[in-house]
Chains A and B, each alone.
Chain A
Amino acid sequence: MEDTHDAAVATLAGPVTVEVELRVNGQVRRLQLDSRATLLDTLRERLGLTGTKKGCDRGQCGACTVHVDGRLALSCLTLAARVSGQTVTTIEGLAEDGQLHPVQQALLDQDGLQCGFCTPGQAMAATRLIAAGHAGSDEKIRDHMSGNLCRCGAYPNIVAAVKAAAAELDAEGQTR
């Protein structure tokens, strides 16, 4: 099929810089970024928010999971420039007034981690599934946590933690 446009995209000599306004955990930051910069690298290397972990860096392990406008996002597959103006929440944004989020507290109480590397991503996935009302059974919890790998194999305790946190949030009458 003939392309009706005259010219192809010009070959680029080098990196392209873009202006980005990031809203992360309630703070607004303006940055100049390489257009290729992922949200993951930007959080860790430019904003010093190293709670979000780089596991596989190709969208398969879930360690880099954050929230963008309340939805799950794999920050390694998200171009930072794309979320300009959107609301980003990382693991550092879950606690309020120095008090751990019920999901974080439950992961501690239920021994839901061993090395802890996958835990920030697990917590972000868990808060979203509870808010979306998917914590009704172990089977549903396991399904909705299946995008987060745990090489230590803490899965049963992670499911227990999600259940406990869902019950706690239910009792509080909120899904924060």
Chain B
Amino acid sequence: MKPFTLTAPLDVPEALDQFRAGSAYLAGGTTLVDLMKLEVLTPGNVLDISLLPLRGIRPRDGGVYIGALERMSDVAEHELITAAYPVLSQALAASASPQLRDMATIGGNLLQRTRCGYFRDPAVACNKRVPGSGCPAIEGANRMHAILGTSDACVATHPSDLAVALVALDASVELTGDGGHRRVPLAGFYRVPGTEPHLETELRPGELVAGVALPAVPAARRSVYIKVRDRQSYEFALTSAAVAVAVSDGIITEARVAAGGVGTRPWRLPAVEQALAGAPMRQEAFEAAVAHAADGARPLSQNAFKPALLRRTIIRALMTLAA
């Protein structure tokens, strides 16, 4: 680790005031301290934001507001989440390890960095870490990498399960900075890499994630998060699916489908949702609807299995909801 000064501001204005180019906000630390040890990140000033009043899980506007500093484990088990948004609870429970879920915050989870091995190794090139240096993953170890939203500059997968569930739920992030408070739909918060993979989100320098706003989503009461991975627990997704449906007389009236493990950002699948709407809640209908789930995918040398695995993951999620 490179040396750094460390302070703990007591309120948001103080935190924003102390932020400079070269500062980093520290919440749960599970990403930041890890990447500082690897010297992938080398802030000269660390602002511990754990004392800021960005907490609370409470009803708001028919939905739920979650403070950015709430921990993953607390949100997963909260009574406002488990019944109304099971997909969110399940996505959190399927994330990381119990230790990491007890430490990591909701805001930090959404800002976690990719697990691409080249990004995490300062000894090699990476366009995300050093713009213009190249992307060894395109011809290298890319089994875990993205097949949707990729570019010639970057094929790194967005690793968050939480973000996949939140995108399916049309959640927004609330941001606070020198310019004031603003709300951004999570689906528009993340960028695809294009020619600038080092720019990952719409967050401005010094701006803080204050919280997450969940809208009322009646269909979310019947929702599920299915995560397919090499180990049963404590592993990142090969593919995952966040699915919610509203069903009336055996016919799907509304479907929400988002995918993880396949995109450079959480990937909503509107074509699948439209194909499901009006279809019967049956396996044949699911198989027809997912036919176009991976349209536009660009599989890499080691992950040609992902389009088929993605389709099957979504079918499994729907079958789970049909049972």
Q: Which residues of chain A have a CB within 8 Å of any CB of chain B?
A: 1, 3-5, 7-12, 14-16, 18, 34-36, 38, 57-59, 62, 65, 71-74, 77-79, 81-82, 125, 128-129, 142-147
Contacts and interface: CB of A to CB of B under 8 A. Distances in A.
A5 B22 CA distance: 11
Contacts of A81: 6, 48
Contact of B103 (A4, A10, A38, A72): A72
B280 interface: no
A3 B34 contact: no
Nearest to A149: B234
A125 B99 contact: yes
Interface residues of B, number: 41
Contact of B3 (A7, A36, A78, A79): A36
Interface stretch (B39-47, B156-164, B264-272): B39-47
Contacts, number: 119
B22 A79 contact: no
Chain B residues touching A, majority SS? loop
Chain A residues touching B, majority SS? loop
A8 B233 contact: no
B45 to A, nearest CB: 4
B48 A82 contact: yes
Given A9-B43, A12-B5, A1 B29 contact: no
Nearest to B18: A5
A4 B16 CA distance: 11
Contacts of A8: 20-22
Contacts of B44: 9-12
Interface string B34-59: 10011000011110101000000000
A140 to B, nearest CB: 10
Contact of A129 (B98, B178, B204, B205): B98
B34 to A, nearest CB: 6
Contacts of B178: 4
A35 B6 contact: yes
A11 B2 CA distance: 11
Given A12-B3, A34-B3, A73-B102, 10 more contacts: A10-B44, A12-B5, A16-B3, A72-B103, A79-B6, A79-B48, A82-B6, A82-B29, A146-B233, A147-B96
B150 to A, nearest CB: 25
Nearest to A83: B50
Given A9-B45, A59-B34, A3 B99 contact: no
Given A12-B4, A16-B5, A35-B46, A74 B20 contact: no
22 contacts: A4-B178, A4-B206, A5-B21, A7-B20, A8-B20, A9-B23, A9-B43, A9-B45, A12-B3, A12-B5, A34-B3, A35-B46, A62-B97, A72-B102, A77-B29, A79-B33, A79-B48, A81-B6, A82-B48, A128-B102, A146-B234, A147-B97
